[in-house]
Structure 1
């Protein structure tokens, strides 16, 4: 059975190969299906992906007109393979650390009642293009944060939660995770380092006013759901319910 990794991308030809290679180096730990959603890129992304797909059978590409990150993630969910057992996500400017799948997939397989694993993330401002590790001088912050790449989901949970909210230009991932943790799904919180989150000038969250506004909206949606139905309880891993902007990482 496969582990599908959904990578939404838009004009990230400079960083996408690193993201994909960080997954390919973990093929010994997982039968990977790397599904890249090209959300209307106008740079070298389509040609780059065509070359990579000729070399690596694990990579698939879906091209579509630009719809935004939520629409791209939804397209990925709609094109999961029949044999997909687990699902996770990686942004096209981030890196999956060595050992990410080797650490958490066995835990999930050994505990059928656990719907997802959830680990740590490291914010960095420089990645070595050869080793795909933070450079020796990179600034780092190792945290438990709100990030889709920190989770590996069973497919049944993904199908239960449904689609990403297309009304959210940002924080669609926060909204999705809050819906997961309102669902009563059993999770396993691990110490696994799941993602190197690369900070750079083109991060969507660099638009701090918009990032905070949409994060607040995602949290408000969760509050409204729980007020409307007191039976809904937010049972989440040990992360602070604050955006990366609010806790000072941008």
Structure 2
């Protein structure tokens, strides 16, 4: 790996996204300036999603298809993490679009700052946009800084330190992972630049509000238990849903031992 072309692994969990996965992959294939490894973990799709990815992978050696039985998004992400070889890691869901140039931009900032755990950008919610990343008239277009793995770039060593994703969580595995970083007072660079475009459609997992809320509460509960076990009494300071008008360094600056790395299994 050289910083002229940093080695970046992109993990993409995919389940029944045959209609969208090719566009998601195109947004990564056109990313400039990086040595990309795109790991698509098909989580037991039944709509031909794996065949779409296989055809793309046959023409592009950067794309690798990993098939598994349907075990959920956390297990799919963990399978991608286990196969990743890049020094840097990021994610993209198979129905979303990575903003042009965002990976190299974020990796460059992260590589220059060994004290920073991740570089996190903004997420734009959309349901219809043009080829030049503009909203079509009358369509959804909303920018948020929220709980999202795909809007950030991490070092692979961060997952070696903090562990992967809790496969017992059907939702909220991203919150649980971020909480482990917050519990160790990790520092972040918060960008005002767009990192990903999040597609809203009828098949979004987050449409099941009750299941999402239950899983989020479970992630909060897990964090409370970990903090009690380590004797931490200070509240967590999180960046979720805050407003920033300029690029900002965010988070604790004191050294705090990380929780033991864990391998989660269902």
TM-score interval, smaller chain: 0.7 to 0.9
Residues 21 and 97 of structure 1: is their aligned pair in 2 closer, same or farther, counting only changes over 3 Å? Answer: same
Q: 1:235-250, aligned counterparts within 5 Å?
A: 238-240=239-241
Give the 3-state SS of the residue equivalent to 1:163 in structure 2. Answer: coil
CA distance in 2, matches of 1:235, 1:156: 23
Q: Which residue of 2 aligns with 1:200?
A: 201
Does the CA-based 8 Å contact 1:124-1:199 persist in structure 2? yes
Residues 105 and 235 of structure 1: is their aligned pair in 2 closer, same or farther, counting only changes over 3 Å? Answer: farther
Give the 3-state SS of the residue equivalent to 1:4 in structure 2. Answer: strand
Residues 237 and 22 of structure 1: is their aligned pair in 2 closer, same or farther, counting only changes over 3 Å? Answer: farther
Q: 1:1-250, aligned counterparts within 5 Å?
A: 1=1, 2-26=7-31, 28-81=32-85, 84-128=86-130, 130-131=131-132, 134-231=135-232, 238-240=239-241
Q: Which residue of 2 aligns with 1:245?
A: none
Does the CA-based 8 Å contact 1:95-1:132 persist in structure 2? no
Task: Calculate the TM-score normalised by the size of structure 2.
Answer: 0.83
Does the CA-based 8 Å contact 1:22-1:132 persist in structure 2? no
Q: Deviations over 1:198-224 (max 9, x none)?
A: 111111110111111111111121122
Report the RMSD for the aligned CA atoms in angstroms: 1.9
Gaps of 5+ in 2: 2-6, 243-266
Does the CA-based 8 Å contact 1:182-1:232 persist in structure 2? no
Residues 14 and 106 of structure 1: is their aligned pair in 2 closer, same or farther, counting only changes over 3 Å? Answer: same
Q: Which residue of 2 aligns with 1:247?
A: none
Query: Which stretch shows the higher mean deviation, 176-185 or 6-15?
Result: 176-185
Does the CA-based 8 Å contact 2:144-2:241 persist in structure 1? no
Does the CA-based 8 Å contact 1:18-1:132 persist in structure 2? no
Gaps of 5+ in 1: 242-250
CA distance in 1, matches of 2:202, 2:232: 42
CA distance in 2, matches of 1:47, 1:224: 42
CA distance in 2, matches of 1:24, 1:132: 16
Equivalences, count = 237
Task: Calculate the TM-score normalised by the size of structure 1.
Answer: 0.88
